[in-house]
Structure 1
Amino acid sequence: MPGEVIDRPNPEPLPSNIPDDVLSLAVKLDKTTLSDKDNASLVAFRKAACYIAAAMIFLRDNVYLERDLTFDDVKPRLLGHWGTCPGLILVYSHLNYLIKKHDLDIIYVVGPGHGAPAILAALWLEGSMGKFFPEYSRTKEGLHNLITKFSVTGGPPSHINAETPGAIHEGGELGYALAVSFGAVMDKPDLIVACIVGDGEAETGPTATAWHGYKYIDPKESGAVIPIVHVNGFKISERTIYGCMDNKELTTLFTGYGYQPRFVEDLKDIDADLGSSMEWALSEIKKIQKAARSGKPIMKPRWPVIIMRTPKGWSGPKKVDGEFIEGSFRSHQVPLMKAKSDPNHLKDLQAWLKSYGPEHLFKEDGTPTEEVVSIIPESDRKKMGQLKETYDPYVGIKVPQWSKFGVPKGDEVSCMTVCGKFLDQTLQDNPTTVRIFSPDELVSNKLDAVFNHTGRNFQWDEFSTAQGGRVIEILSEHCCQGFMQGYTLTGRVGLFPSYEAFLSIIHTMMVQYAKFGKMAKEVSWRGAIGSLNYIETSTWTRQEHNGFSHQNPAFIGAVLNLKPDAARVYLPPDANCFLSTLAHCLRSKNYVNLMVGSKAPSPVFLSVEEADAHCRAGASVWKFASTDGGLEPDVVLVGIGAEITFEVVKAAELLRELAPALRVRVVNVTDLMVLGTEGTHPHALTSNDFNAMFTADKYIHFNYHGYAPELKGLLFGRPQSERITVESYREEGSTTTPFDMMLVNRTSRYHVAEYALRGGAKFNQKVEVDLVSNIADIKHRVVKTREYILANGKDPEGTYDTPAFEGLKKGKGGEQVLYEG
């Protein structure tokens, strides 16, 4: 029925025949009656915060309007974003009220990141700015400093970042606030995250998918998110999609997502409207959680969502120079851009600021009045800017002894299969502090051993609801990244395994996170957090069956471009090395760890003890594959990457047959950062150490998994760089065979051997004498191998035999297994 009031707090799933007037599906409850005191305090807080926020954008002096404004009181550069601020402050005030009334732990995640003036103003009023930044204390001088230093060199920036108390989300790139919020509440049953999503941000793809995030939240073990869609109608200079949707359309959308929507849009009684909506949302959350925690979970519970309509730039100038400001895109940034030079703009600015009544909001000493602060939680630990989960949350995890999962040297195993068993134990040992976030690829990537003692946490079907589960699988890399960020920034440890080719989808998300981390290290009050951990597998070297589209190692370069104190890139050559690396990364803090490895069975080159030493060093000479243990080489062959290294070792084996006089040193690099020029990275080898491993003057050939320019950039500045050659992924590929991928990208054993012969001939006359004939032999082998592949659709028998070196098994390894996925 039109206008029907839904009085049941948690309706059953929607019927398939939605009525024409779907507004009946939006929750309509009586407004909560606020006491006169509470209502006055909410209004006073909002006025004070709006005053401060507006002043921050404009004023360099006279911050309390103790005299008429002059041009000298206005900043020379007007920077900031006003339009979203009133709405953000409105929500902040009511969250304070809710926390104080119900003794809650709430994190406020702000999607409109450029709303920093709003959040900084509220943080100053509650004393959180002063706690972490004494220069911004809740005093007259502190407010003067905050207002005058905002968006100037050395002061707070115009967007929310790690310098903002209470923030767990970088306010740069839009689209990720909601996913971060869902990640933050996982395994924190008493935590609520209020996430405000701007109607501009709501247009992004990541946000559209993140609305499904609650379907991965088991209310028995985790907290809850209150999404608040802030519909103010405009972006920078255009209308928003949500702003052009009426209530019927928005109700249909969100009920289709599975939510209960409630609209807040009564500007004449906004506090009663929002206050009753907040109470309703909290009661719905408590009902869903109580049912789940009592053993009678609600199937497909419909979580609350608040859709809040307020004018953009609300309470600011109505018109400027004949143009509408409030309620239009013109309020997005600075409504009075000529306040420094135009007398009318200056007059309008003064009238705007005075409209808040600052003389009634601040005492003579500059501190806020009791009416302003009375809704703020009394306990510091409950204030949103000082909640421990937002700035010092790390609890640590128990990492199993990886060597117990090691495999014998010479075996042929999948790195991922072995690591899956290790992760299975890790999840058992850390039932509430470690999660895996994966885009539906764990089984394909051979990590399915994690399911021996856990499952997928999915709350939207009868088979998995209320079953918990430490694995989140959703076919959205953006959601996986956002969930992991929220989970990590609130103190836990996450792991993100992915197909190599598609990890680059979250490149900019990772960079935004790294920027947040960089700034977090530069403030003294933020504690360490667990690292972001990526496993990159199903690599281009074994994606020949899925074709060219699945071949892309570009994410390596994305991590390499980060600040050296954050970036870590590892390419373990075998299962034992990968175990060692994974254990290290799970223990580490404050890094972005990228681990690249193979899921296909491959030889174990190093014992547990050798792998431990190799990974500690980051690189080492593989004596078993070298001539005389690597002494006095004519050429140095370097493998970086699992399959790539296998080709280097096979090349060394081939060279013993073709050119026994050639003295070869084989080196494997597992920590890519050791190659950087001395001083460029904490792990970079000194010049002396580099020369000890790679020689000071002999020819060096690198066989590298990623793109050559990345490696050349690391090596730039090393002496005699003209002696270095690099082969890597050349952006060549198709649906073919594994070895043909090596051939077309010139990373095969034959190409490595050719480079070795040409380089070694410069130092060894015995090699030089036979150079032409040996090169001809190698080229002939390449031709014949390709002919065989084209004729038979598979690689030649014996291609993947374990190299016949002492200490390794000499039996046939069989053909490489091809995996679908």
Structure 2
Amino acid sequence: MTSTTADGNVLAGTELELLDAYWRAANYLSAGQIYLLDNPLLREPLRPEHIKPRLLGHWGTSPGLNFCYAHLNRVIKARDLDMIYVMGPGHGGPSAVANAWLEGTYSEVYPLVSRDATGMRRLFRQFSFPGGVPSHVAPETPGSIHEGGELGYSLAHAYGAAFDNPDLVVACIVGDGEAETGPLAASWHSTKFVDPVHDGAVLPILHLNGYKIANPAVLARIPEDELVRLFEGYGHAPIVVSGDDPAVMHGQMAVALDRALDEIGRIQQAARDVGATDRPRWPMIILRTPKGWTGPKEVDGLPVEGTWRSHQVPLPGVRENPAHLAELESWLRSYGPDELFDEDGRPSAALRGLAPAGERRMSANPHANGGLLLRPLELPDPRTYAVPTDKPGTVTAEATRVLGDYLRDVVAANPRTFRIMGPDETASNRLGAVFEVTDRVFAGETLDTDEHLARAGRVMEVLSEHLCQGWLEGYLLTGRHGLFNSYEAFIHIVDAMFNQHAKWLKVTRDLPWRRPIASLNYLLSSHVWRQDHNGFTHQDPGFLDVVLNKKAEIVRVYLPPDANTLLSVGDHCLRSQDYVNVVVAGKQPAPVWLPMEEAVAHCTRGIGIWEWASHSPRPPHSADHVGDGSADPDVVLACAGDVPTLETLAAADLLRRFFPELRVRVVNVVDLMRLQPVEEHPHGLSDTEFDALFTTDKPIIFAFHGYPYLIHRLAYRRAGHGNLHVRGYKEEGTTTTPFDMVMLNDLDRFHLVMDVIDRVPSLGGRVAHVRQRMVDERLRLRAYTREHGEDAPEIRDWTWPY
């Protein structure tokens, strides 16, 4: 298929008139939401009191969105299509709400907003009004899977929705402002990851209306032949629809959609029935219309339609300016509301008949409310994959490699509802076992030297974290499950996307008609403490700080200390719904501290005293007794994260050797949210529980995976917070050895012992020689790394000795 311009007209006269009437009705409802507080059908002359006191919303993109929606409804009915609509332009809310109301879905979901004059008044009043609905294509809007508040993600979401949905067509409207973003630019390459046999299709519609808020859109200002070549270079077959005459444009758009859908059908049939394996050129539509089309052409002597002035509110001074009020009334009446809506304010019978029925309505499609389609994963028993251990720390394992065996069997048991996304790091993060049962998705050219590439793989790798995140969000929002694995430092690239998804989940919690979806699961490996080879640029644990800004009922952060606890946490996260789960785990060989049954119990608690690692003084007549930590401690050693746990236990060993009379309690934290008060987070501890673990009057030396202040932020209300001293990453790093990394940040075992000496009054000055020895050990071991290029054997080979 080659790029073409859509000419001609496949619409009969009456069909054309009805389609145009539907478009006019949607435009009227869109403009009415921005302006009208009352008099929704203009049954009386428009007066200032009918106008909202604060005019908010965006008109400029709405007519184009409505134009596409009306035409998509036509082909849905004609072809009985299963289709959803993703609106990329940032402020398409008026259009989305208008069309959901026209189709009747809005009134089904919100009965008070009935499909009549009373409901229309409420529809208009609520938009961008206190206590109402926002101006974006928000979760409150039926049919939406994409907020659109932050630009760049629509196309990735659309492809995520299409994966493993072979009968679904996702129409995605890409705004020309949005098209300038990096995530959207990468998203055009999604065609290289579509399997025409098992996946559905995405129909991108690039909507060029010329302007953003105040500046011209880049793609709207390049010559058409250059624009077409750009998208042909991406691997698409563009069809151009361009103009401003509605009658001509309706004909062009009808032809374009028929051509595009015929080609999608041909591609899928060739792959499914004939076995074609060549990567197809998927069709797309380039739609060029005036910004603010059908709105005021000129205001106060300045051009509006087709310019940036139509972006938000074309007539801003309506309440105060009688001329603007008259222009608004003339504009609204130009759509012919008297013929579009009957005496009761309902859409006319002819318009109601144009909308698809039932779940074929894009605003009622169950794929846009993915929880309706969600089915639990078939998950193996994580205990099957446990690393056997009889004594803490004597067995080593690569935690993520162990999890990889578990994920391999998850993939095998759920061949169409589970995918792993990652930026070329699945094998690097030691999850390579999954390639025993699946491949990486790739529809491009393959070579004999390639490994594990196939059109139908379950692992999706592309070196764009934005694209991985967007695909996974679209996949989850339409009722499936997945995992995003990444290097810890570079997950920051999707900070803003995480924010938007967390906000979506927060809002949907209060919408009973939105059914829960599978959680968004992050596995962050190659983390800060074992990026000793890549250096400072790869050393950043700050994603946890971003996550903790979100609502407590949405986010979960887990720091499993070993392979068996990672298995337990991973299984839990894949079973959960409506959360964002962040799991941080190392991939390097590390001690296994807990047998599986204890690991499950510890992860279920989320926090606990490790009695075997704690120490009470040997009572008289019991020379072989090492204590269990149950006595009131002199100091609490707390830890969260695999490397901090290792250093804490090594410090506990040193304290036991140097100060056998010191009562030491070791507390390990898996679920970071347990540190918050129960009033702040559903996983939080009550003050009584927290004080029982940490005491209210004893020093707490906390070794933490991330930035130290995060622990203070979580625990600042606790009675013992003044005794809390946190060690963590303090932005010191380089290319060096693992132990030198912890020494650079004062998280090493010797510095933890020094912290205890400095903060336990009973030790006093008599331990100055031990403190000096700790300082000397740090100097000696750093010198060793500089001479030998590796950590000293006594560090590298240390194991728990008791």
Query: If the TM-score is normalised by the length of the shorter chain, which range does it land in?
Result: over 0.9
Q: Secondary structure, in 3 states, of the residue corresponding to 1:702?
A: strand
Q: How does 1:310-389 map to 2 (within 5 A)?
A: 310-377=289-356, 379-389=357-367
Equivalent in 594, 598, 603 of residue 615 of structure 1: 603
Partner Cα distance (1:260, 1:192) in 2:
17
Which residue of 2 is the match for residue 796 of structure 1? Answer: 792
Counterpart position of 1:404 = 384
Aligned to 1:818: none
CA–CA separation in structure 1 for the residues paired with 2:265 and 2:710:
51
For residues 365 and 637 of structure 1, what CA distance do their matches in structure 2 show?
72
Give yes or no for the alignment of 1:437 onto 2:421: yes
Of 114, 117, 131, which aligns to 1:140? 117
Measured in 1, the distance between the counterparts of 2:105 and 2:223 equals 39
Task: Determine if the alignment matches structure 1 residue 514 to structure 2 residue 491.
Answer: no
Aligned partner letter, 1:393: L
> How far did residue 29 of structure 1 move?
5.5
Q: Relative to structure 1, is the Cα distance of residues 322 and 255 closer, same or farther in structure 2, using a 3 angstrom cutoff?
A: same
Of 442-451 and 255-264, deviating more is: 442-451
Q: Identify the residue that residue 3 of structure 1 maps to in structure 2.
A: none
* Residues 1:486 and 2:474 aligned together: yes
Separation of aligned partners in 1, 2:284 and 2:276: 20
d(CA) in 2 for partners of 1:314, 1:114: 15
Unaligned stretches of 5+ residues in structure 2: 616-626
Aligned to 1:240: 217
The aligned residue for residue 390 of structure 1 is: 368
- Give the superposed CA RMSD: 1.2
Give the Cα–Cα distance (whole angstroms) in 2 for the partners of residues 795 and 659 of structure 1. 26
TM-superposed deviation, 1:295: 4.7
Distance 1:796 1:462 in 2: 45
**TM (normalized to structure 1)?**
0.93
Per the TM alignment, residue 756 of structure 1 is displaced from its structure 2 partner at its CA by 1.9
Q: Partner of 2:630 in structure 1?
A: 631
Measured in 2, the distance between the counterparts of 1:170 and 1:541 equals 36
Q: Is the 8 A contact 2:6 2:252 kept in 1?
A: no
Equivalent pair of 2:439/2:453 in contact (CA under 8 Å) = no
In the alignment of these two chains, the number of paired residues is 778
Question: How big is the shift at 1:466?
Answer: 5.7
The residue type equivalent to 2:551 in the other structure is: K
What amino acid is the match of 2:263?
A: E
Contact 1:650 1:749 in 2 (8 A): yes
Q: Tell me the residue number matched to 2:411.
A: 427
Q: Which moved more, 1:589-598 or 1:63-72?
A: 63-72
Deviations 1:580-604 (CA, angstroms, capped at 9, x unpaired): 0000000000000000010000010
Report the counterpart of residue 171 of structure 1 in structure 2.
148
Structure 1 position 30, deviation (Å): 5.2
Q: Is 1:64 the counterpart of 2:44 in the alignment?
A: no
3-state SS, counterpart of residue 398 of structure 1: coil
Alignment pair present for 1:41 and 2:18: yes
Give the conservation status (yes or no) of the 8 Å contact 2:5–2:241.
no
Decide whether the 8 Å contact of 1:312 with 1:329 is kept in 2.
yes
**Is 2:236 the counterpart of 1:259?**
yes
Partner of 2:713: 713
Report 1:225-236 matches (<5 A).
Answer: 225-236=202-213
The residue type equivalent to 1:705 in the other structure is H
- Classify the secondary structure of the residue corresponding to 1:468: coil
Paired residue secondary structure (2:793): coil
- How many Å separate the matches in 2 of 1:686 and 1:85? 50
**Structure 2 residue 535 is matched with structure 1 residue 547:** yes
Q: 1:52 aligns to what?
A: 29
Contact between 1:195 and 1:225, CA under 8 Å: does it hold in 2?
yes
CA distance in 2, matches of 1:188, 1:309: 30
- Contact 1:624-1:805 within 8 A present in 2 as well: no
Residue number among 430, 435, 451 corresponding to 2:435 in the alignment: 451
Is the 8 Å Cα contact of residues 41 and 373 (structure 1) preserved in structure 2?
no
Give the counterpart letter for 2:665 in structure 1: R
Cα distance between partner residues in 1 of 2:404 and 2:433: 5
**What's the counterpart of residue 401 of structure 2?**
417
Asked if 2 retains the 8 angstrom alpha-carbon contact of 1:38 and 1:375, the reply is no
> Any idea what the Cα deviations from partners look like across 1:400-429, whole Å, max 9, x if unmatched?
110000001232000011001100000001
C-alpha separation between the residues in 2 aligned to 1:631 and 1:776?
A: 30
The corresponding residue for 1:274 is 253
TM-superposition CA deviations, 1:709-732 (whole Å, max 9, x none): 111100010003111100110000
Q: CA deviation at 1:40?
A: 1.4
Shift of 1:562: 0.8
Q: Is the CA contact (8 Å cut-off) linking 1:266 and 1:273 kept in structure 2?
A: no
Contact persistence 1:218–1:465 (CA under 8 A): no
Say whether the 8 Å CA contact 1:393–1:527 is kept in structure 2.
no
Q: Say which is worse superposed, 298-307 or 791-800, in terms of deviation.
A: 791-800
| 3-state SS of 2:440 partner | coil
How far residue 789 of structure 1 moved from its aligned partner, in angstroms, is 1.2
Contact 1:292–1:466 (Cα < 8 Å) also in 2 = no
1:682 aligns to what SS in structure 2? Answer: coil
Q: Give the letter for the 1:800 counterpart.
A: R
Deviates more, 1:457-466 or 1:442-451: 457-466
The question of whether the paired residues in 2 share the 8 Å contact of 1:288 and 1:298 is answered with no
Quote the Cα distance in structure 1 between the aligned partners of 2:772 and 2:672.
34
Give the conservation status (yes or no) of the 8 Å contact 1:41–1:374: no
Cα offset for 1:288? Answer: 1.1
User: Superposition pairs for residues 515-534 of structure 1, below 5 Å?
Assistant: 515-534=503-522
Q: What corresponds to 2:87 in structure 1?
A: 110
Q: CA offset at residue 567 of structure 1?
A: 0.8
Displacement of 1:218 in angstroms is: 0.6
SS at match of 2:796: coil
Counterpart pick for 1:471 among 439, 459, 471: 459
Work out the CA distance in 2 between the residues paired with 1:671 and 1:794: 33
Q: Percent identity at matched positions?
A: 45
Matched AA of 2:573: C
The answer (yes or no) to whether the contact 2:159–2:190 under 8 Å persists in 1 is: yes
* Paired AA for residue 388 in structure 2: P
3-state DSSP class of the match of 1:135?
coil
Give the match for residue 775 of structure 1: 771
Q: What does 1:585-596 align with in structure 2 at a 5 Å threshold?
A: 585-596=573-584
Equivalent AA in structure 1 for residue 147 of structure 2 = E
Per the TM alignment, residue 774 of structure 1 is displaced from its structure 2 partner at its CA by 1.0
Distance in 1, Cα, partners of 2:8 & 2:501: 40
Is 1:667 the equivalent of 2:644?
no
What one-letter code is carried by the residue in structure 2 that aligns with 1:343?
P
Task: Could you list the structure 1 runs, at least 4 aligned residues long, displaced by more than 6 angstroms after superposition.
Answer: none
Contact 2:103 2:355 in 1 (8 A): yes
Please state whether the residue corresponding to 1:770 is helix, strand or coil.
helix
CA separation of 1:30 and 1:720: change in aligned 2, threshold 3 A: closer
Q: Which residue of 1 is the match for residue 738 of structure 2?
A: 738
**2:4 is paired with a residue of what secondary structure?**
coil
TM-score by length of 2: 0.96
CA distance in 2, matches of 1:606, 1:687: 27
In structure 2, do the counterparts of structure 1 residues 697 and 481 end up closer, same or farther at CA, with 3 Å as the change threshold?
Answer: same
One-letter code aligned to 1:609: E
Aligned residue for 1:625, secondary structure, equals coil
Q: Deviation digits for residues 147-189 of structure 1, max 9, x if unmatched? A: 1221111212111110010000112110000000000111110
SS at match of 1:739: helix
| Separation in 2, partners of 1:630, 1:294 | 68
Give 1:306 shift: 0.2
Shift of 1:26: 2.0
Deviation at 1:734, TM superposition (A): 0.6
